[in-house]
Amino acid sequence: MTTFRGAWSAAGLAAGAAGLATSYFAAMALTIRESPVVAVAELVIRLTPGPVAEYLISLVGKLDKPLLLLGIFVFLGVVFAWSGRLARRTWWAPAVVYAALAAVGAVAVSTQRGAAAIDVLPVAVGFVTWLVTLSLLTEPLRAAEERGAEADRAAVDHLMPGEVMPEAGPVPDDAHTRRAFGIRVGLLVAAAGVLGVLGRVVGRGRRHVEEVRGLLRLPQVTRPATPDGVSAGVRGITRWMTPSDDFYRIHTAIVVPAIEPKDWTLRIHGMVEREITLTYDDLLDRQFTEAWVTLSCVSNEVGGNLIGNAWWSGVLLAPILEEAGILPGADAVLQTSDDGWTCGTPLAALTDSRNAMLALAMNGRPLPIDHGFPVRTLVPGLYGYVSATKWLREMEVSTFADITAYWTERGWGELGPVKMSSRVDVPRSGEDVPAGEVVFGGVAWAQHTGVSEVEFSVDGGAWRAADLALVPNEDTWVQWSGTADVPPGDHIVRVRAVDKNGTVQTDVEQGVLPDGATGLHARDFTAS
């Protein structure tokens, strides 16, 4: 019977390499971190007892890390080849091996300092690649071996008593199978190589920009000082200031732009008297403005957390647009980002008295790359999808009649003013609290209008006025709190806000499409 002994190992090795390549690329594209393999190396270093590490380093000196990585790769090579051979008998044995490797990778990346949930994604990508490529590669081998086994059985059936099995002659489609297999392995290894190179390029650019960002000093930017009284003093309410690391992130880019400030320009053109191109240094030369502003996403469901509040520093947009000289008839600005994303912003919101700005810093530091470094737009009172362009490159003054933008082309509303909303944070969903006096709390927002009252109701009873914490302006969310006497049993609490125009938050339920969700947030809890 024909076998492809070496081929099964080769398939395992090629699949293994492919998974390492995709996970490396994903890590480079998604984060500034190293690949999962490096995370594992770091984990090994962390777990190695100090004296042992010192002894090893005394033996190999500066080669310690390259040798460690080499060791990991050799180990992986052996395991990959072995899992290829395992695949010859059962499909699940290599899957178990891959799962074990992925588990080690996942532990390594998620125990790194400052790890986020997304850091595990490259490991998952590698795991799926292993499974898919191994089955793609081994499928023709399996088919050929089965044909071979059948041919052998047929031959045995035809033997005369006492006759011996003739030497197995070459099965005619062997050569074909080998060639097809060779081509698959070759293509896969080539693709892995290309991905590896791409990952390097993407990763290097981003790491460099990350370094530049780390060294940047913006003299006009002050550290965030949380104003007094903004906390309602109830444990469990979302922090009033959202740390940048915890701030929600929404973008369509798979590989986010990495732009050095020295390479950044903003071109303002269209219906203007004179076109303007601004550099990063031009912005640094201007008067800075700083403000607490709550940014929210149109895709935030009632009670959702696609919302955050930060201290933003930058340059006011209104005077810049005035310098350009807006021509009569314009009512929109089409913004374009470095990655080609677009949004149409109502011109009025950029030129009225609100703090519409080109933001350079978030929470006292240059914008994180994921939040638009080096420059993004920020417009209080509008959802992000019509205003908060990250990696901003271009502003074309125009009319809504003449433009379409990324999300409006996909059925979302043109103007995008933020809808008033409120949320219960305490008690937590399904929480068991002692019966009697129960503490409630959460946040409410109506950016650029301001919240004047928040009310909550337990089990559909009367609306009770909540206490509001302080806010520095009308552009941020506000924390609310209150207490009510609650008997033992299952309960539900609802919340609603009233804005400074006296409008009461509607209880009419609407989904996020086309222009933001409405309805009242409710939480179930149990008192006992």
**Among ligand MTE, Mo ion, none, what binds residue 91 when CB lies within 5 to 8 Å by partner kind?**
none
In the complex, least distance from residue 500 CB atom to Mo ion, rounded to whole angstroms:
24
In the complex, least distance from residue 17 CB atom to ligand MTE, rounded to whole angstroms:
33
Which one of residues 4, 130, 341, 456 is an interface residue with ligand MTE (CB under 6 A)? 341
Between the alpha carbon of residue 317 and those of residues 118, 324, 358, the distances in Å are 34, 11, 6
Cα separation, 185 vs 368, in Å, equals 40
∠ CA 299-347-340, rounded to 5°: 55
Q: Is 301 in the site for ligand MTE (CB under 6 A)?
A: no
In the complex, least distance from residue 92 CB atom to ligand MTE, rounded to whole angstroms:
40
Nearer to ligand MTE by C-beta: 73 or 247?
Answer: 247
Q: Which of 179, 251, 236 is nearest to 29 (CA)?
A: 251
Which one of residues 73, 91, 248, 463 is an interface residue with ligand MTE (CB under 6 A)? 248
Name the residue number minimizing CB distance to ligand MTE.
Answer: 384
In the complex, least distance from residue 482 CB atom to ligand MTE, rounded to whole angstroms:
29
Cα separation, 424 vs 234, in Å, equals 12
Cα separation, 165 vs 517, in Å, equals 76
Cα separation, 292 vs 515, in Å, equals 24
Q: Is 252 in the site for ligand MTE (CB under 6 A)?
A: yes
Is the link from the previous residue into 514 a cis peptide, with omega within 30 of 0? Answer: yes
In the complex, least distance from residue 400 CB atom to ligand MTE, rounded to whole angstroms:
18
Nearer to ligand MTE by C-beta: 393 or 521?
Answer: 393
In the complex, least distance from residue 27 CB atom to ligand MTE, rounded to whole angstroms:
20
Question: Which residue type sits at 55?
Answer: Y
Q: Is 339 in the site for ligand MTE (CB under 6 A)?
A: yes
Nearer to ligand MTE by C-beta: 77 or 304?
Answer: 304
Nearer to Mo ion by C-beta: 272 or 382?
Answer: 382
Q: Check if the beta carbon of residue 307 is closer than 8 Å to that of residue 418.
A: no
In the complex, least distance from residue 301 CB atom to Mo ion, rounded to whole angstroms:
12
* Residue span 368-397 as binding mask against ligand MTE, x where in contact by CB under 6 A, dash where not: ---x------------xx--xxxx------
Burial class (CB in 10 A: 0-12, 13-18, 19+), 490: exposed
Q: Is 255 in the site for ligand MTE (CB under 6 A)?
A: no
Cα separation, 200 vs 139, in Å, equals 32
403: which DSSP letter? -
Cα separation, 241 vs 492, in Å, equals 28
User: Where do contacts with ligand MTE occur on this chain (CB under 6 A)?
Assistant: 247-252, 295, 297, 337, 339, 341, 371, 384-385, 388-391
